[in-house]
Structure 1
């Protein structure tokens, strides 16, 4: 039985991961869970799964829950989340939102835990530092994003084989085929209606701007040790092919399936095993009868190009790009800026940045904080 810690158990990935644990009680047990502010759902999860360790952001929430659940050790704040991340477990699932996932992931790696990663910003901002720690500690970095899980599955049994390119699929989001002029009228309500996937608000907006695909390119660059220019994005509206790999002999392996995030979660948590499930099978005479692929329009969806540019520049540029994007996405959700101003703000932050060539963890955290403050100032 694997002991699982979930950072962000009340979010979209966290709740689905708990569903996997619930359905496989002989294989998994939740030993650690963390929550931000959704305390009522967290209370229900604690009552059902009874983990050994738990954390939430506010001290008063922890004190109240500790009184209700005397058998659980509670911690609070960012330090509390870091503490839970280092407690005994077999796999730590990081499903935190944004840059908050970096430090606890790094500390969990140093504690010797395998990582199931559903937080792409950890590798976008800290890829060099994190993957160095993975190598030094000899732990597994198991991707949970559907695209990276697909690539991971295509590479099973092909370790060491030369890759020509990675094929990273994208749904195209709700505004596929739109002009830049049309994007100027996009509201948060419109952008939050993803055609294929049910996700949290931030990642759904990233999908609508196609920044999500840029972040995934950087994540894939670190996970699979390839150059950013050896990753090709394919806009694939059906979301049936989740990604693929072309090897040096031009052979392509791709992973297909219905869009269900429980599958990549199970692949990561159960690795190297596979679980027998009752999930829907792919209907090759229905949705999969006609699969189409298009080039992404980076003249319209400029965020993806900014992510590629940040990766090519290297050093601290991805940190700045990622931090600015997080602040600007929230500003868009709060209706303080328009949809196309997300890319404009990221460009402004990148152009004003003085690159740090090889930042360590402390420098990454400092640059992230400074960029957030600068980005907030341009919004005033």
Structure 2
């Protein structure tokens, strides 16, 4: 077993904050701890080189879609805006709608322009950034959602599946037909992990619930999103969930008078009277300590995968949006109760499922099958 002393020899300031107990209340997803008690998966990088404190830091952010999408890129860019305003020593730049095939050249351009740190924020960016990082050891890179790491390339994500589970609890209590629908992007571990958590949350309060999934093989395609959402409603789903960079599924639910949960950003304005809530990100909680580490010469390559209760100076990494206008108190109370149990470690999202006891490495990289409430099979 690794000791705290061994951990602190190879950890960054953001992890020391967590170990020191700086986690605070997180709205519906508050309290310290991620609730899973698993060992964090990581490729061990080599020992880093000594860095010096800098007066100015230049940070670049590369997004896979336009930041006005009200989805993943929107949330990431909200975090960039927050730290840009927070620190007078920080200069930021960003590029939107960068295809994975183009991210290598965009990353090289930022590197050649002297940016100190470059954030690549899509799974498809992993391999190109990994190659650029090898050729530019004096530049720092951070990659979201992937599993490759170098001495100068860290990786980051959050256990948002915990908030999805809580949204699923509410969905399981609100459904009358015991049929949920879920619009999903790509059949990768990140997406499968989230939809399984949503379904298991619903099952925890409704043993009869089932869930159908429609894949569109895109992160941001409003037309396909709407088509998939409508198909799920036509098949009998009376609650819709989603893993998309768009509120389109929430809009379709509103048009069909069924319940909905969003993702990434507050989506109540699109969901009308039957909006439930949305798991939402606050990326400032990751960016801020990371950028402070860079400025202070303390940055080290690591894998950031924090969960319920992690915050930075009062800003939680993720939370649930405000409740919709017609959510009963008993639903809110049940979600609050299960949130407390998750945060305290009394339970995990995966208890009682075929994934109970699986390692973080499995959950993050290898999970490729559905939980029992989800109908069908994951496509090859």
Q: TM-score range by the shorter chain?
A: 0.3 to 0.5
When the two structures are superposed, what TM-score results if normalisation uses the length of structure 2? 0.37
State the structure with bigger RCO (CA 8 A, min sep 6), 1 or 2.
Answer: 2
